[in-house]
């Protein structure tokens, strides 16, 4: 008996709206009624479920899971293997997405609880587990995530690192 392998690169629903100059890499999934803005990059093996809205100039790295009903703003970065959730008390029939506001950064392998809002210009550190809303211009990290410092302090640390030998 011969083994038959069917190779399917991507699944992008014909009910999804994809903006101009958007790039979706190998083996990604985009569900029904999802709207993706212009100049968005979605990495390999990412799963963007149904009824998701993603703004312009956003980058979603590989292996990211974005559940139904999530809202992602403009100029957002979501690092590899980050996971957003949509069921605060699993398993239930009542779902709610995650909201990530403009210019936010979500680090690799971060997990964000259903119903959470990540404020504008905020940063979630890699590996953080976010169980409470994150205020604008705030950096959070840890398990559970706690405020580490302000976005202004983060920007200074980033500049110092860039200028170091």
Q: Give the count of domains, the chain.
A: 1
CATH number, domain with residue 133: 2.160.10.10
In a domain, 1, yes or no: no
Per-residue pLDDT of the chain (165 residues; tens, 9 = 90+): 666 655 567 889 999 999 999 999 989 999 999 999 999 999 999 999 999 999 999 999 999 999 999 999 999 999 999 999 999 888 988 999 999 999 999 999 999 999 999 999 999 999 999 999 999 999 999 999 999 999 999 999 999 999 997
Edge-to-edge strands of the sheet including 83-84? 11-12, 29-30, 47-48, 65-66, 83-84, 111-112, 129-130
Question: Structural domain of residue 83, as residue ranges?
Answer: 11-163
In a domain, 136, yes or no: yes
In a domain, 61, yes or no: yes
In a domain, 3, yes or no: no
Written as six digits, the tokens of 100 are: 């990530």
CA neighbours within 13 Å on the CB side: how many for 106?
37
In a domain, 46, yes or no: yes
Q: What are phi and psi of 139, to 5 degrees?
A: -110, 125
In a domain, 19, yes or no: yes
In a domain, 67, yes or no: yes
In a domain, 6, yes or no: no
Q: Which of 76, 74, 79 is nearest to 62 (CA)?
A: 79
Exposed / middle / buried, residue 50 (Cβ in 10 Å: 0-12, 13-18, 19+): middle
DSSP annotation of 75: S
Per-residue pLDDT at 80: 98
């Amino acid at each position: 008996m011969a083994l038959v392998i069917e190779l399917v690169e991507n699944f992008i629903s014909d009910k999804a709206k994809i903006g101009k100059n958007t790039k979706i890499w190998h083996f990604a999934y985009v569900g029904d009624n999802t709207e993706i803005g212009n100049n968005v990059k979605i990495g390999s093996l990412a799963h963007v479920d149904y009824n998701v809205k993603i703004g312009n100039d956003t980058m979603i790295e590989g292996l990211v899971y974005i559940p139904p009903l999530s809202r992602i703003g403009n100029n957002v970065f979501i690092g590899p293997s980050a996971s957003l959730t949509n069921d605060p008390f699993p398993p239930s029939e009542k779902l709610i997405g995650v909201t990530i506001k403009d210019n936010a950064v979500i680090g690799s392998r971060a997990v964000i609880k259903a119903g959470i809002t990540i404020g504008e210009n905020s940063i979630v550190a890699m590996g953080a587990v976010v169980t409470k809303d994150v205020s604008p211009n705030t950096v959070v990290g840890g398990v559970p995530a706690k405020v580490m410092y302000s976005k202004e302090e983060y920007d200074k640390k980033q500049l110092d690192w860039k200028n170091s030998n």
